[in-house]
Amino acid sequence: MPVTVPLRLGRLSLAVLAVVGLAGLFLALIVLTDGARAGLAAWLTAFGAGVIAALWRGRGRTWPGRLWPFAPVIVAAALTASVCVPTAPTTRQYPPDLPFVATRHWSLSTGSRVAVYHYPPAAGALRHPTPLVYLHGGPVRNIAVLDHRFLRLLAGQGYDVYAYEQPGGGRSDLLPMEQYTISRSVRDLAAFIDRLNRGPVDVLGFSAGAVVLTRALATPDVAIHVHRAIIAEPGPMDGPTALISGQQGRPSARGLAPAPTGPRATSVPRYAVALGLIQLGLLPPDTSLITQAEGVNAFKAADLGSDTASAYCAQDAGRIPAEDTAENFSFSAAASLRIMQTIKDSPSIASDLKRSRTPAMLMIAECSSQIRQWETAVLAADPSIERTQYMPGVGHHMWNGLDDNNERAAAVITAFLQREPSPLRNYPTRADIPAFLRDHR
């Protein structure tokens, strides 16, 4: 008995190691084959290698003994087979239309076909003649219901508001993966303004949308179509800025808010493997393991994890609002990573931005989860930023529906667009940047 137990444990350990080894071989083959045939090429190769190893281990044994080496192979094959089986539709499933705004589709001169939303000025409000175009964050995701509410608030104050979802996000059509680039996003903005045919427009860019706007201001043939620009909580504007690993704002709710609930793609082996390997850079965004459409269909709001909490101040951890509905949510992780990589690979735009003449305003949140130097780099480079608005008591998602945050954000936007004094002081200025960073504001 004392000899039998260690012997059984030893065999069990060898079996577990065999399963782990075959699973590891499968993952390595997924990377080497780029997930060919939805991962089936890697699975068949790993399974074949396991069968050969089992036959070799079973040589010289009686028939019952020859079968036991196949047990780890069968277990590993069953576990890894789930990576090869789609559980989400492989053709794009678009969100249903929102009940409070019509969805139109515009074909742009760039070849993009985008979903467009229009909030005309409210009846009785003083109408502002210049259209206001909203560039959402993401970058390749839908416009959240929370943002739609804010756009309706601006329309209620007399603005003629237009918004479109970037290709691949929301109700907009997909692009071939290689066409998702930051330069394409800038060209799409120019094409949208041209399709609108209303002359120069005011543009509000938030987060990733603020990056598109910043780069548009550094592109003269696009900047001439922008009347006034609001750069809200920008990410890195170019490769050198993306390399900065600086500080963030005041503490956010990341790690404090309850974990998001609901279904998530990362609980399914196929999408956990695919998205994980893409995130690690071991698979390209256009991997053959999953189609772009399948990845968008599979990804759920809960997969964003603590990213949502990081957009709110620590004191709001217990009351983070529902930003979106499950029906409206969509996010292309692969396309977003592809665009972000093209930003990281791009040269500095600082010298081009210094030649900008478009009046601009920078908005910075007190509890921003963005790297502060991403924001101050824009301030330092763009001489046409007329004012900076440091928004107290809010995180990255400044118009979040809590308290009077929407109204406060709308007030500083309205003041800038109408060339009126702001309710907040101009801070930080370019001269304030060193102290602003030193004081960890």
pLDDT at 6: 57
Q: What are phi and psi of 392, to 5 degrees?
A: -75, 150
pLDDT at 250: 93
Query: What's the predicted TM-score (pTM) here?
Result: 0.93
Q: Are 345 and 423 within one domain?
A: yes
Looking up tokens 């068949």, which residue turns up? 44
pLDDT at 9: 58
Q: Could you tell me the CATH number of the domain that includes residue 234?
A: 3.40.50.1820
Q: Are 289 and 403 within one domain?
A: yes
What length does the chain have? 441
pLDDT at 356: 97
Q: Are 61 and 119 within one domain?
A: no
Q: Are 256 and 312 within one domain?
A: yes
Return the C-alpha torsion angle 301, 306, 310, 315, nearest 10: 110
Q: Are 278 and 326 within one domain?
A: yes
Query: Is residue 89 included in any domain, yes or no?
Result: no
pLDDT at 10: 58
Q: Are 38 and 154 within one domain?
A: no
pLDDT at 1: 46
Report the C-alpha gap between 326 and 324 in whole angstroms: 7
pLDDT above 80 for 4: no
Q: pLDDT by residue (tens digit) across 147-168?
A: 999 999 999 999 999 999 999 9
Q: Give the residue-averaged pLDDT of 117-141.
A: 95
pLDDT at 65: 66
Q: Are 347 and 265 within one domain?
A: yes
Q: What percent of the chain has pLDDT over 90?
A: 86
Report the C-alpha gap between 409 and 206 in whole angstroms: 12
Give, in order, the Cα–Cα distances in Å from 398 to each of 72, 208, 325.
Answer: 53, 14, 19
Q: pLDDT by residue (tens digit) across 232-277?
A: 999 999 999 999 988 889 999 999 999 888 899 989 999 999 999 9
Mean pLDDT for the chain overall: 94
pLDDT at 66: 75
Return the C-alpha torsion angle 371, 376, 378, 380, nearest 10: -150
Domain holding 44, by residue range, is 4-84
Q: Are 76 and 122 within one domain?
A: no
pLDDT above 60 for 7: no
Query: Is residue 54 included in any domain, yes or no?
Result: yes
Q: Are 236 and 362 within one domain?
A: yes
Assess contact for 139 and 340: CB atoms under 8 A. yes
Assess contact for 375 and 362: CB atoms under 8 A. yes
Q: Are 285 and 356 within one domain?
A: yes
Query: Is residue 155 included in any domain, yes or no?
Result: yes
Q: Are 40 and 142 within one domain?
A: no
Q: SS3 helix, strand, coil % of the chain, rounded to 5?
A: 45, 15, 40
SS3 label, residue 331: strand
Q: pLDDT by residue (tens digit) across 276-306?
A: 999 999 999 999 999 999 999 999 999 987 7
- Comparing 422 with 2, the larger pLDDT belongs to 422
Structural domains counted in the chain: 2
Query: Is residue 99 included in any domain, yes or no?
Result: no
Q: Are 409 and 367 within one domain?
A: yes
